[in-house]
């Protein structure tokens, strides 16, 4: 789930407006986009790479390590299953509002195939200095700079703000992992935390959580045994119970998934929980000092 230089990327939906724009930006930062998929334009060349009718056809000619999905909700299930069937190891699913029954099927098929799903409703993954996959502004040097702080976020906008603050603090990022804001996602906060814990380039971690679900509590269990320092911000502190927020997964019922529960679990694990996003960079700057 951490993008590495040289990994070959397939863009499903490459000829659409968003697919074209972001594929071009990915390529400008060094991301190795090797092919695209659009069943209606198979056989063409777009942005200098071949376009195929399916991911299965694409990988027969061009091996791919990562696929990114620029496909609308009604067609997303078929596109993701196509990528899984093609044997692609990581599928970055940007699409939101995919029907729940389709999401369940996707995760089951991915698990059987040993495929890593990032998302749905993710903003993508970024490794400054190497490339990015998705719709994060990985091409903007004011936001992303190579460094040693790994960033985990459900939210693309909050993740962008954290990365901006880290860059301004001259800390930079080793990797950004956008796990996605849907209720059923393929990569959890704990999964991302474990990946960054194993990553030699990551010396500290910034975690951006939200109310809803229990991912942060599960991550806290793992964080308790880590040596790398972690600073976290939990969005939704003032949200009333049972209030649905911007992400489909950010809904709290009773005491479970609430702000107090998440903060208590993280602080008990030794995580520095801050009150505003700006304080994450300050907290981690103290560690480096």
Count other Cβ atoms within 10 Å, centred on residue 228.
Answer: 17
DSSP three-state, residue 150: strand
Spatial CA neighbour of 284 closest among 161, 159, 167: 167
Instruction: Sort 46 into a burial class: Cβ within 10 Å, 0-12 / 13-18 / 19+.
Output: middle
How far is it, in rounded angstroms, from Cα 56 to Cα 62? Answer: 10
Angle at 176 between CA 269 and CA 95, to 5 degrees: 110
Q: Indicate the DSSP class of residue 256.
A: B
- Measured in whole angstroms, the distance separating CA 39 from the mean position of its chain's CA atoms is 26
How far is it, in rounded angstroms, from Cα 214 to Cα 13? Answer: 33
Catalytic residue among 139, 148, 203, 247: 247
In DSSP terms, which residues pair with 52 in a beta bridge? 37
How far is it, in rounded angstroms, from Cα 233 to Cα 158? Answer: 10
- Measured in whole angstroms, the distance separating CA 279 from the mean position of its chain's CA atoms is 22
Our answer to whether residue 97 is catalytic in this structure is no
Catalytic residues: 247
């Amino acid at each position: 789930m951490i993008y590495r230089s040289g990994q070959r990327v397939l863009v499903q939906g490459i000829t659409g407006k968003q697919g074209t724009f972001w594929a071009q930006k990915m390529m400008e930062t060094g991301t190795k986009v090797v092919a695209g998929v659009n069943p209606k334009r198979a056989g063409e060349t777009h942005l200098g790479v071949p376009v195929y009718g399916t991911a299965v056809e694409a990988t027969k000619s061009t091996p791919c390590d990562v696929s990114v999905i620029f496909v609308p909700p009604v067609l997303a299930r078929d596109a993701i299953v196509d990528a899984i069937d093609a044997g692609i190891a990581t599928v970055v699913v940007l699409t939101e509002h995919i029907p729940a029954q389709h999401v369940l099927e996707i995760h089951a098929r991915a698990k059987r195939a040993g495929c890593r799903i990032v998302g749905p409703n993710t903003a993508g993954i970024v490794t400054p200095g190497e490339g990015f996959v998705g719709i994060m502004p990985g091409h903007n040097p004011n936001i992303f700079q190579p460094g040693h702080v790994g960033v985990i976020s459900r939210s693309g906008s909050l993740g962008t703000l954290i990365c901006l603050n880290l860059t301004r603090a001259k800390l930079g990022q080793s990797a950004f992992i956008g796990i996605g804001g849907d209720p059923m996602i393929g990569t959890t906060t704990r999964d991302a935390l474990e990946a960054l814990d194993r990553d030699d380039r990551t010396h500290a971690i910034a975690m951006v959580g939200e109310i809803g679900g229990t991912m942060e509590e599960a991550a806290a269990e793992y964080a308790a045994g880590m040596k790398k320092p972690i600073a976290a911000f939990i969005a939704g502190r003032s949200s009333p119970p049972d209030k649905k927020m911007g992400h489909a997964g950010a809904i709290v019922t009773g005491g479970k998934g609430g702000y107090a529960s998440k903060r208590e679990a993280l602080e008990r694990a030794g995580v520095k929980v801050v009150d505003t996003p700006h304080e994450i960079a300050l907290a981690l700057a103290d560690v480096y000092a």
